[in-house]
Every structure is written in C-alpha cells, then in structure tokens.
Structure 1
Amino acid sequence: MIPLTEKTVRASFVNASRREAADLTLPPDFADLDWTDLEYLGWRDPRLARRAYVVVPTLDADGEPGPAVAGVVLRQAEASPRQRAQCTWCQDVRLPADVLFYG
C-alpha cells in the first residue's frame, strides 16, 4: 500500500461527513506503520465502541492499485442476529477471535 498522510486518510471517507472524518481517531501507531506490509488500512475506533474504519487503494484502468484510496466507516449493528452473521470479506479472513457484524 502507498504511504498515506493523516489528511489523505481523513479525506478518503466516502460515507462520512466532514465532521465525522475530522473527529475520527486514527490508529495509535499510525506514524509508525510499515506501509509496504499493508494491503489495506483497517482499525477500530477506541472512543466509539461500535465504529471501525477501512481504507483501501483504488484500482487504475489496468486493474493495478493506483495512487488514490477510498475509506469506509463501518458501524456495528445494534441488535445481535440469531446466528453469527458475517460478510464475505470477513469469512475469507482467518482470525483467532470472532468477527463482529457491521451494517
């Protein structure tokens, strides 16, 4: 992933208001991230228990990661479903802990 600045991350969110983007808490180790090891940037907001963020590189015309990124705010569903609900993206990831459902 290309190295990102705080300003670029905050400006990348497609489903957040300017105020929400300005108020979000960046990951605590943001300044020390090794961008070469990342395919995307994702983190949970320590101030807002039901909120998480993901920033992914967009693809250019050749299908290669381009210089632009798109960010999405994820909000955890209020009610717990009867069964463990997961999106396809989360089902593909192998984690040692349960995955939360975001809507």
Structure 2
Amino acid sequence: MKPLTETDIRESFVNALPGDLDRLPIPGLHEMLWDDREFLGWRDPQAHQRGYIVHWMDDRPVGLVVRSAGSSLRPGIAAMCSLCHSPQPATQVRLFSAPKAGDAGANGDTIGTYICEDLACSLLIRVAPPHLNPPEQIERRASGLAERVQGFTTNVMKTA
C-alpha cells in the first residue's frame, strides 16, 4: 500500500455523514509498515462502535466510515472475516455496516459485512509462522483481501 498522509485520510471519506469526522482520530502514521498492508483500518477510541477503512483505489485514497454491531456473534463458534477470509473465534469478528455514499446514505441506506473486530486484516494474513504461511500464500491472500476491500467500497459508492 502506498503511504497516506493525514490530509489524504481526512479528504478520502466517501460515506461520512454530518458529524462523523468532527473529531476523526488519526492513527500513528509514522509507525505504519505500509508495504505490509492492503488498507489502513482502525477503531475510534472515543466512539467504540465507529471504525475507519482507507485504501487506494484508482490512484486516490478512498475512505469508509463503518459502524460495528452492538453485540458480537455467539461465543464458542467459529466465524470468518469476509475481507481477509481468516477463520477465527466468533467474538473476534463483527458485523460492520457502512452508510452508502451520497443521498442514499443520508437517507439511512447501509451495506453490512462481517469484518475482523480490530480491522487489522492486513496483519492477520501475515501472522502465521513462515513454514505455515509462505510468501506465495501471503501474496495470494493479500491480493484477495485488496480485491474484497475494493469490492466492498464499490458497493458503498454505488448510487443506484
């Protein structure tokens, strides 16, 4: 992923509703390992259900405001993130909804999907020991993750 600046991030959101970005917390950009991520995702420490996803699409940063469901899936079962396709305990996957862009979102239309609760899919696809996660597999999973994030973003941006 190409690096993002604070200005890139603040100007990227396509589905922000009035008030969504008033106090947008920016993660520590100087600490990012940009080559090891397909998108920048983080949760708002002041508004726990709110999260943000920013990635590059057609050479421009595109950001989404997402909101997690108030409760998690039932403990004791497995779940899978629809972005990184990582199976994990259900308590680590949440239903997130994103307001659609434009008038549709202002009128309450949303799109939902199950995503890793911490929005750290890029990290999750890389954490297995190297003998279980060879570079070719990481590359394949990273490509799939990037495609699914772009597909989700495209659906949020559809006006019809």
Partner of 2:65: 73
Counterparts of 1:24-103 in structure 2 under 5 Å?
A: 24-27=24-27, 29-59=28-58, 67-78=59-70, 88-89=82-83, 92-95=85-88, 98-103=92-97
Distance in 2 between residues matched to 1:5 and 1:30, nearest whole Å: 7
Identity score, percent? 39
- Choose between structure 1 and 2: higher helix proportion: 2
Q: Where does the alignment leave 5 or more consecutive residues of structure 2 unmatched?
A: 98-160
- TM score, norm. by length of structure 2: 0.48
Report the alpha carbon displacement of residue 31 of structure 1 after superposing the two structures with TM: 2.2
Letter in 1 for 2:12: S
Q: Aligned residue pairs: how many?
A: 94
Aligned-pair RMSD on alpha carbons? 2.9
Report the alpha carbon displacement of residue 94 of structure 1 after superposing the two structures with TM: 4.4
1:56 aligned counterpart, secondary structure? strand
Residues 25 and 44 of structure 2 are in contact (CA less than 8 Å); yes or no, is this contact kept in structure 1? yes
Letter in 1 for 2:61: V
- TM score, norm. by length of structure 1: 0.71
Distance in 2 between residues matched to 1:51 and 1:101, nearest whole Å: 12
